[in-house]
Structure 1
Amino acid sequence: MEPPVPPFLLLLALLAASGLTRAQVETPLLDLSGVLPSLSRPANHSLIFHAVMFDAGSTGTRIHVYTFIQKQLPVLDNEMFHSIKPGLSAYADSPEMVTVTLLLKVARRAVPRLDWKRTPLVLRATAGLRLLPAEKAQTLLDQVQHVFDESPFLVPDGSVSIMDGTNEGILAWISLNFLTGHLNANAKKTVGILDLGGGSTQITFLPKLKKTVEKAPVADYVARFDFFNSTFELYSHSYLGNGIMAARLATLGAVGAEGTVLNADLRVFCHRCGHAGYKLCYQEVLKVVKGIIHQPYELKDSNVFFAFSYYFDRAVDAGLIDGVQGGMLQVRDFKKRAKEVCNKTTRYLPVSPFLCMDLTYIACLLKDGFGFKDGAMLQLTKKVNNVEASWALGAMLDHFHNLKLH
């Protein structure tokens, strides 16, 4: 059975049908006409709307405060972003200690007091909570719900939940393609996305060859939806347990009954990994990838992939890209720097005892996992048009549409 068409895709189809780019209309980023709540105000009066999305990841919780301005049409004006560590899953045994309250203070500062009551709060948890026992995960969600309910913001039903891994990839693909202008009627190409979190990793792209879909292992690797009177198929999959932190644990075999990180053992292992050199380290991390990560039939060079989250962070740590501007890298660049760090042939001083292992894992994941060629180009980015590269914007659009706030 084909998965249902996500409402946000229908919404974006309507938006993209106009074919307008940012160069064609002097409005920032995103047209949300009919999605945000409308109020009875005089013509030509600027209306400002806000929305708050919490990304509850495995290693931290991030807040995105979006500001929309309605002149003739609502547009996304800017985003305020802040993050804290650790993630919600770290409070599995003490849910009353969750730190969402701290981020709510950020929302209070970013959103004017008069707008609090009509500003929705949404939290979507990812791999950190998906890896927890269901009962503990639900207790954490209930605690967040309680904190939200006590806040002065709008808290509709369904505002706190765990997000499916595949949706995480699809929403990130929607966000990145929208922000890069690839979801309008004139766009002939799209960009793929590679997201590397702490607990899971996602790959999503629009295939050019039918065999890519036909050779997908199972049906849930493919998301189908109607767009411009045609059926489009995204190749998308989320690998739970193959995020960078989970991969460290899996390589070591140091996972407790509830995913407890054994930091001391990890440091010893990574120290040995560095002394053993790149080759032996690669053999160890390959065990976490081989037979688990499916290689899509096509990963053509014409498909530009945006890589973010820990791909970006580790590239910065390794001195491969600028921490603000990001940059283009080839897959072989991760491999080369991993060799230099692990074999201690670089003058660059590692900022983390895990850098050798993490870079080796990324190189292995990209090449022996997904099957990218050494020369494949990746766009490493943290922000696109001053908006965080993540699934959060797509998720916010989806939530607005489901709320039917017209």
Structure 2
Amino acid sequence: MVKSRSLHLLFTGWCHCRYSLSVFNVGIGLDLSVGVEGVLPSLARPANASRIFHGIVFDAGSTGTRIHVYTFIQKDPELPLLEKETFQSVKPGLSAYADTPETAGETVRQLLRVAKKAVPHVEWERTPVVLRATAGLRLLPPKKAQALLDEVEVAFEESPFFVPDNSVHIMNGTDEGILAWVTVNFLTGQLQAKTKKTVGTLDLGGASTQITFLPKFKTIESAPPDHIARFDLLSTTYELYTHSCTDTHQTDSSLERKVFESSCLSRKFREDWSFGGLTYKISGIPDGSTGFTECYKEMLKVVKGVIHQPPELQDSNTFYAFSYYFDIAVEAGLIDERRGGMVKVQDYSIRAKEVCNKLSMYLATKPFLCMDITYITCLLKDGFGFKDETILKLTQKVNNVETSWALGAIFDYFQNIKIH
């Protein structure tokens, strides 16, 4: 069975890019209790008691569905503390059930049982549950995507949790990038600190990628007015550059013939892959050239010149990178899966050359590693414009909390953040 997200991105027609400057009103004092009391059903509490509240976020991604159950403690007038996160995921993603949407509802019900165990019974009716779908559903025909969302809404209404208005919807890539940035900078303490020093974020999912960071004034000044977005979270203003890439539905004559050949694959590789209701023949090029140079040329065709490159990225120091950046670094042996680690952009490049120039060694166990790691190398260098020396901090968790946009999404809900 084919397991390659870069192949998935190539098939979806990489790359439609959206980039914007997003102005956050984000400050040094986060009091979620203000938003909580305004949006949740009331529940009597003793005077001067700490507020303990919960939030449930479903991440309906292209490769799986994940549930995040957050527990917060608010002690007036202190900042709220994220006490813990309960996390679980299932595969495949909801988009795999496009022709059997009722199965999507069962997937959600299965994960709701996790939430029932994590949230005390007395808090169920006060605990909001929301689902945000990403590129997997964005790529489906609208009617099929809506049928899946309808099944999720039914499952939510059957649950004992608080179901707010607009609890289920498809999130755009720009919001995805911004909320992931909020998550990482909250968990690393940057949003609470009296400094504007923040970290940039890189996210690469099954069908889209996002880059988000605090830009310099020149980048802000050169952005078109309609690429400015604002939302209120705290009291200090942050201006963020966020760039999202996803499908354009471009076509290729070979794909129309349901055949995909690549110099990133061993000449001996042959496999069928089902995607979008069709089955494709995936293979190496029997009489063609292989190796890193040829593979990189293929990746350049879908990356070079179609992704906006802010010049300041060439001077960037450190970015947090997660999702597929992390997974491939683990598979390539660049980092330890449990601890994560720091790598330079050039580390991906060096490892890609080693793998791609010895494809036969990986045919049986990791046939797509050359394609995947070369794609990431090309995306970072010729897509976004990072230098070889740029450091990426690869991690799945910060302070034992998943590095996902989901935490940012629950802040979005409690504070009624409006990104525009």
Q: What TM-score, normalized by structure 1, do the two folds share?
A: 0.82
Q: Equivalents in 2 of 1:364, 1:314: separation in Å? A: 14
Q: Which amino acid aligns with 1:197?
A: G
Measured after TM superposition, the shift of residue 43 of structure 1 is 3.7
- Tell me the equivalent position of 2:144: 136
| 2:215 paired residue among 198, 207, 224 | 207
Q: For the Cα contact (< 8 Å) 1:173–1:204, is it kept in 2? A: yes
Residue 170 (str. 1) matches residue 178 (str. 2): yes
Q: Equivalents in 2 of 1:64, 1:377: separation in Å? A: 29
Structure 1 residues 56-82: Cα deviation after superposition (integer angstroms, max 9, x where no partner): 111111110001124445421010111
- Tell me the equivalent position of 1:32: 32
Residue 360 (str. 1) matches residue 374 (str. 2): yes
Could you tell me which runs of 5 or more consecutive residues in structure 2 were left unpaired when the two chains were aligned. 1-19, 259-273
Matches within 5 A, 1:83-232: 83-98=89-104, 99-210=107-218, 212-216=219-223, 219=225, 221-224=227-230, 232=238
Q: Secondary structure at the match of 1:329?
A: strand
- Tell me the equivalent position of 1:319: 333
Q: Equivalents in 2 of 1:298, 1:388: separation in Å? A: 28
| 2:66 paired residue among 62, 66, 73 | 62
Structure 1 residues 207-260: Cα deviation after superposition (integer angstroms, max 9, x where no partner): 1241x23445x5555445689987543111111139xxx99x98974798x962
Q: How many residues align?
A: 375
Q: For the Cα contact (< 8 Å) 1:223–1:236, is it kept in 2? A: no
Q: Equivalents in 2 of 1:251, 1:293: separation in Å? A: 23
Q: Which amino acid aligns with 1:375?
A: E
- Tell me the equivalent position of 1:279: 293
Q: Equivalents in 2 of 1:220, 1:364: separation in Å? A: 29
Residue 332 (str. 1) matches residue 346 (str. 2): yes
Q: Equivalents in 1 of 2:257, 2:228: separation in Å? A: 31
Q: Equivalents in 2 of 1:202, 1:86: separation in Å? A: 22
Matches within 5 A, 1:376-387: 376-387=390-401
What is the aligned-residue RMSD (CA, Å)?
3.3
Q: Which amino acid aligns with 1:68?
A: F
Residue 375 (str. 1) matches residue 389 (str. 2): yes
Residue 394 (str. 1) matches residue 388 (str. 2): no
Residue 289 (str. 1) matches residue 303 (str. 2): yes
Q: Which amino acid aligns with 1:200?
A: S
Structure 1 residues 131-180: Cα deviation after superposition (integer angstroms, max 9, x where no partner): 11111111111111011111111111111001121111111111111111
Measured after TM superposition, the shift of residue 46 of structure 1 is 4.6
Measured after TM superposition, the shift of residue 372 of structure 1 is 0.3
Instruction: State which drifts further: 164-173 or 69-78.
Output: 69-78
Could you tell me which runs of 5 or more consecutive residues in structure 1 were left unpaired when the two chains were aligned. 19-29
Matches within 5 A, 1:344-359: 344=358, 351-359=365-373
- Tell me the equivalent position of 1:21: none
Identity of counterpart residues, as a percentage?
61
Q: Secondary structure at the match of 2:337?
A: coil
Q: For the Cα contact (< 8 Å) 2:22–2:242, is it kept in 1? A: no
| 1:82 paired residue among 82, 88, 98 | 88
Structure 1 residues 333-369: Cα deviation after superposition (integer angstroms, max 9, x where no partner): 1111111111128988985322110100000000000
Measured after TM superposition, the shift of residue 127 of structure 1 is 0.6
Q: Secondary structure at the match of 1:77?
A: strand
Larger RCO of the pair (alpha carbons < 8 Å, separation 6+): 2
| 2:281 paired residue among 259, 265, 269 | 265
- Tell me the equivalent position of 1:49: 53
Q: Which amino acid aligns with 2:91?
A: K
Q: What TM-score, normalized by structure 2, do the two folds share?
A: 0.80
